Amino acid sequence: MRSRAVLCVVSFAVCCLSVNSPQGHLLAAEQEATASEHSPNAETNWTESGAALVRSHCLDCHNEDYQEAEINLAGFADPAKIAADQKLWKRVLDMVQFGAMPPDDADPLSDDQRATLVDTLDQLLYTAACSLDPRPGKVTVRRLNRAEYDNTISDLFGIPLSVSKDFPSDEVGAGFDNNGDVLSIPPMLFEKYIAAAEQISQQVIFDPRTVKTQDSERAGDQILTEGDSWVGSFYGHYIAADAFAWTEFDAPYAGQYRVHIRAGAPKEKETVKLGVFDAEGKLLEVCEFGYYGGGGSSKHDSVAVELEKGRNRILIGLLPADQEAKPGETTLPGVERLTEEKLAAGRASVGKKLQINRNAPKEPFAFVVRKINLKGPEGTPQELIPASHDALVAFKPQKGRSTREAAKMCLEPVLRRAFRGPVEDKTVNAYAQLAEQAFKREKSFERAMQVAVSAILVSPRFLFRVELPPENEKTKPGEVRALTNHQLASRLSYFLWSSMPDEELLQLADEGKLTDEETLRTQVARMLKDDRAAALGDNFAAQWLGLRNLDGFEPDPTQFPDFDESLRRAMRQETLLLFNDVVSNNRSVLTLLDSSQSYVNERLAKHYGIAGVQGDDFRLVPVRNAGRSGILTHASVLTLTSNPGRTSPVKRGKWVLENLLGTRPPDPPAGVPELEETASANPNASMRQQLEAHRASPSCASCHKVMDQLGFGLENFGPLGNFRKQEAGKPIDASGELPGGRDFNGALPLVDQLRKTESDAFVTTMANRLLTFAIGRELAPADRCFIKEITTRSAQSDHRFVALATAVVLSKPFRFHTLEEK
């Protein structure tokens, strides 16, 4: 309890942390110059061209008096008002750019007019945002989320560890669970941190005092035999020359044990040599006994034997006096008689007293066995010592080295890595002193180190990613400042690995080299080749694409009785493997949109109707001939955008708009009936007819005319993503038309159309999500300036993943931050 109290006191320091991230002033001059260079032309172009198009095509429905979909564009003529409401006008830009506006019942925009409106509004929004002196923004001091916690402790100690499953679920903000604004610390989590720290410390450092020792005894009447034998007075087991004794012990660990035997020779002044054999009858060691002494007496000897973990059989038999016995070579005669049937019968008799023969000493016998004991293991079994132990207890107290000095030598490298940067001597001394106090109390250096490690794991410097300026740096609220080298190292590692920096990153930070752009480029390329980059799939892609929602999807069991967890896992794994393939092989991120290959195992291949795939291992196979191309046709996406018993073109279209094209449809207006109500009113209507009735309201039509068309293109895939040509006996109609007359029929033409006309939107969306994940906050309108810069940089390399990730890392929001103004 005293150790736990110490941890609580250390942990309570978390509450004293500031949640502000201060920064400096390196960007203002550059941004002001950019704004002054472009702003007049952008405003002029808007006033002369863009504003007129809003007046003629938008204002009738979106004015102060009649705000269709609660959108008021009355301030369209004033660039300052547009700048003040960036969210609204970014929404307008998205809807016009994709063709969702104006609606079908309004005067259409010609292709030239649409291009003019998009271009002038884009210039105005971009310039307006930049002219407001956009700063990188603040990032709240944030704790490690569950995935980051497990990854960090695993990398810190070099062994796989997972304890966060007992933590409360992380909140999600801006689509990700690493958002500092929502990562609170409820009281229960605080308790979980303390319990986890104690659990982890005992897993990474072994205390020899905790070894479970074995001390098992077999009395004479419980010792089993093969051949002639009988039990005499005082439960001595008398055994004939051609017989042998046997018993079994359960060893808790593999290692060396000591077998103690109380036995003896049948006559005075005689000795017998007994062999201790293993289950196969191979000699382990030799014992020698004199006359057993009559009555209840006997002689004692013991031998050391190596046992495997679990059940071990020990055999004891007579060795001829005139024959040399060689351990490992000599074999017990008659061992083959101990059949499985006899073994089973012998085990069944254990615990039952054998009948005593009072005349036993008058009968001929070769030796007597009264008792067999197994004690051990001797020393510490190797299997109990974790791989992390030797490094964490590399130095021990000895002559000339105090407990505190030994603890300091052990803790210094751990603290540097756990706190992700340099650690002051006073901090190291404080933890060493804690270990010294624990040693005085526990009388075990290993236990003392466990206490110190537990305290490290509840420190704010471990649990939180803090990006405060150095104490000697003078900063003012609102200033922009560059992150320190060690702060950059942590941002980089938690972005690409969801874990702590490795030694190479820390060394570069120590040397002050991470502020160099070329060094950052090299590190991004190196880190994405590392196996730890798979965390991008588990934590970034799985949340961006909504794959975590697949766990909660339960299809109608009456319609889909074959659906099981193996299929669910295979669905998820396919998408993650394709994403990881793009990352590890540095492919263009557009590969995700239209890849003609995908990863399947036998279970998923059968679901897709792809022949020739066997086993549980996933492999990359062509899928376009099976009607599939890119993640949009993955069963994972098609399933999580379906209803339990039917497909949902609306959900599928909405998923494409939000996750691939970055256009979030507004919430449906009040009073519009659900699709189920429409279906019940006309149960014989097709899905298309139901959706046409559903979007009869003009306020719905603008979004549904795009969402529904996208969803219709995927109708050849059932609710679980299986390919189908008919539904309820009728041919599937998978045709559709996107704004601008972009028609298609089926998933492949739809994917090809999106790849051809919406590649820029897809890359922009992915850049947006990557930057959001990388910096751990929701993006502000001003961040659009930086997104544009990121996509422009990555375009030079065909938007290959390394180029896109590097552009994110080199962006100002990633490398700089702003001190919050009070």
38 pLDDT above the threshold of 60: no
DSSP summary character for residue 779: P
Predicted pLDDT of residue 34: 36
Average pLDDT over residues 40-63: 89
Average pLDDT over residues 421-429: 97
Using alpha carbons, select from 701, 735, 770, 760 the residue that is nearest to residue 545: 770
Residue 142: count other Cβ atoms within 10 Å of its Cβ: 23
**Sequence-ordered list of residues with C-beta below 8 angstroms from that of 143, at least 6 positions apart, any chain:** 183, 185, 463, 464, 465
678 pLDDT above the threshold of 80: no
20 pLDDT above the threshold of 80: no
**Sequence-ordered list of residues with C-beta below 8 angstroms from that of 609, at least 6 positions apart, any chain:** 626, 722, 723
- Mean pLDDT score across all residues of the chain: 88
459 pLDDT above the threshold of 90: yes
681 pLDDT above the threshold of 60: no
Predicted pLDDT of residue 91: 84
Between 136 and 593, residue with greater pLDDT: 593
The greatest distance separating any two alpha carbons of the chain, rounded to the nearest whole angstrom, comes to: 126
Average pLDDT over residues 516-537: 98
Residues 620-656 have pLDDT tens digits of 999 999 999 999 999 999 999 999 999 999 999 999 9
416 pLDDT above the threshold of 60: yes
Say what the pTM is.
Answer: 0.84
Average pLDDT over residues 202-230: 93
CA distance 394 to 396: 7
675 pLDDT above the threshold of 70: no
550 pLDDT above the threshold of 70: yes
Checking DSSP bridges between strand 480-482 and strand 597-600, what pairing results, if any?
A: unpaired
Average pLDDT over residues 380-386: 91
Residues 488-501 have pLDDT tens digits of 999 999 999 999 99
10 pLDDT above the threshold of 60: no
Two tokens at 766? 């992915």
**Lowest mean pLDDT, pick from 260-264, 350-354, 442-446:** 350-354
Two tokens at 728? 């309820």
Contact between 608 and 623 under an 8 Å Cβ cutoff? The reply is yes
5 pLDDT above the threshold of 70: no
Two tokens at 426? 């006073």
Band (703; pLDDT cuts 50, 70, 90): low
Residues 326-350 have pLDDT tens digits of 999 999 999 999 999 999 999 998 8
**Sequence-ordered list of residues with C-beta below 8 angstroms from that of 771, at least 6 positions apart, any chain:** 779, 783, 786, 787, 790, 808, 811, 813, 814
Predicted pLDDT of residue 688: 64
Between 785 and 263, residue with greater pLDDT: 263
Residues 761-787 have pLDDT tens digits of 999 999 999 999 999 999 987 888 899
Q: For a pLDDT cut of 90, what percent of the chain falls above it? A: 69
Predicted pLDDT of residue 11: 38
Predicted pLDDT of residue 7: 46
Phi, psi (5° rounding) for residue 533? -65, -10
Band (14; pLDDT cuts 50, 70, 90): very low
Predicted pLDDT of residue 128: 59
Band (362; pLDDT cuts 50, 70, 90): low
Burial of 267 (0-12, 13-18, 19+ CB in 10 A): exposed
Predicted pLDDT of residue 79: 87
CA distance 263 to 229: 14
Band (24; pLDDT cuts 50, 70, 90): very low
